[in-house]
Structure 1
Amino acid sequence: MNIAMFLDRDGVVNEVLSERVKFVNKPTDFYLLDGVAEAIKLFNEEGFKVFIVTNQGGIGLGYMKESALQDVHKKMEEDLAKIGAYVDEVVYCPHKPHANCACRKPKPKMLFDLAAKYDIDLAQSYMVGDREPDIIAGREAGTRTILIGEREKDEVEADMYFPDLLSVANWLAEYHA
C-alpha cells in the first residue's frame, strides 16, 4: 500500500486572502507559497503520493468555470515542475458551500476516492490543511492530521501543528528516514 500526503490547496499550497490576491479564479491569481515546491519535491523523493484535495465552491456559485480551474491547476503543475516537483492528482468539489454534497470537505469522500484509486493506507497517510474542514475530513478518513499556519491553531484539534508546508516536509523526511 502507498502512503499519501493529502494537501488542501488555498492557504496550504498557494496564497489566498493576501495583499496580492483575494481569490484564485485565474492562473494570474496563482502564487505558490514560499517553500511549497521544495516541500512537495521532498514528499515525492520520500515516496509519498501527493494529492491536492480542494473545495472550489466558486464554480457552483458562478464565479469561475471549470475550464478556468483547470488552467489554474495547470499553472500550479508548471510552477512545481520548475524544480522537479509534482502532484499525482488534483481533485476538487465544485459545489456551492452549503449544497450538502458528499464530496465537499469536511466530508472525506475525496480522500476515500483517492485512497481506493491509488491503494492508499489512510492510517499511515496525512491530511494537511489550514482550516477546520480540512482537519475534520482527514480525521473522518482515518488519516493523521496536520494544521499549518496560525489562523485557527487555538480552535482546531489536529494531530500536529506546523507553521508551513516546508516545515512538515522537513519533519517527515527526518521522521521517515
Structure 2
Amino acid sequence: MQVVNRSHKALFLDRDGTLIFDKDYLSDPDGVELIPGVSEALDYARILGFMLFLHTNQAGVGRGWYSLEDVEACNHRMLELIDLPNFKFEEICIAPEASDDLAVYRKPSPRFIEEMVVKHALDRDQCYMVGDRDSDILAGLNAEVKPVLVKGNAIEEGNEDLLKEYQVLVFEDLLNFVKSLG
C-alpha cells in the first residue's frame, strides 16, 4: 500500500485500555496483552499519513509502586507485540504523577499535546486524542483536538453528559475508529 503524505495530522493514543488491555498498575512486561486489531489500526493510520504519539498516565510511578524503567519495559514489550516493520511512536509521554499530585503531563492536562502541536506543526483540526477514559477525552478537549472514546472503561459517573455536550466520537475499539478515517 502507498503511504499518504503527512499533512500535519496526528493521533494521540492512550496506552492502557486503548492499545493494550488495562491491568491496574501494570509493571511486568509479561502482563502486556495487545488488544485485537491494534497492529492493523496503527498500520492503517500510518498509511493514512497520521503521526502517532503515545500519551500514558502512570500514577504507579508517582506512588512508588514501580519505576519508570518498568513502564518503559512494558512499552518495549507492547512494541514487540505490535510487530510492524519500522514502527515507532513519533514521541512518547509517560506522565508519572499520582492522581493527587499537581498535574504537569498527567491527563487531562493538555501540555504534551500542545507541545507536540507546536513542535511538529500539527493542524489541531486533524488531530485526535484517543482513549478509554474521561481523562483522555478531557485532555483532547483541553488541547482543542478531537476527542475519541474507545469503549474500554466506563466514563466516570457524572461525566456522561461530556460525550453529548462535546459530540465526542465513540467507537468500539481503535481499529473501528481508524477505519472511519479512511
Is residue 2:162 matched to residue 1:172? no
The CA RMSD over aligned residues, in Å, is: 1.7
Is residue 2:16 matched to residue 1:13? no
Q: Summarize deviations over 1:65-93 as a string: whole Å, max 9, x none.
A: 1111111111122222x233442222111
Q: Summarize deviations over 1:16-49 as a string: whole Å, max 9, x none.
A: 14xxxx4321211111101011101111111100
Amino acid aligned to 1:7 = L
* Alignment equivalent of 1:3, drawn from 6, 9, 26: 9
Q: Secondary structure at the match of 2:21?
A: coil
Q: Secondary structure at the match of 1:15?
A: coil
8 Å CA contact 1:131, 1:147 repeated in 2:
yes
- Output aligned runs, 1:127-138, within 5 Å: 127-138=129-140
Structure 1, unaligned runs of 5 or more: none
Structure 2, unaligned runs of 5 or more: 1-6
- Output aligned runs, 1:33-112, within 5 Å: 33-80=35-82, 82-84=83-85, 85-112=87-114
Q: CA deviation at 1:132?
A: 0.5
Q: Secondary structure at the match of 1:145?
A: strand
The aligned length equals 168
Q: CA deviation at 1:169?
A: 1.1
CA spacing shift, 1:86–1:94, aligned 2, 3 Å? same
Rounded Cα–Cα distance in structure 2 between residues aligned with 1:67 and 1:108:
24
8 Å CA contact 1:44, 1:86 repeated in 2:
no
TM-score, normalised to structure 1's length? 0.88
TM-score, normalised to structure 2's length? 0.86
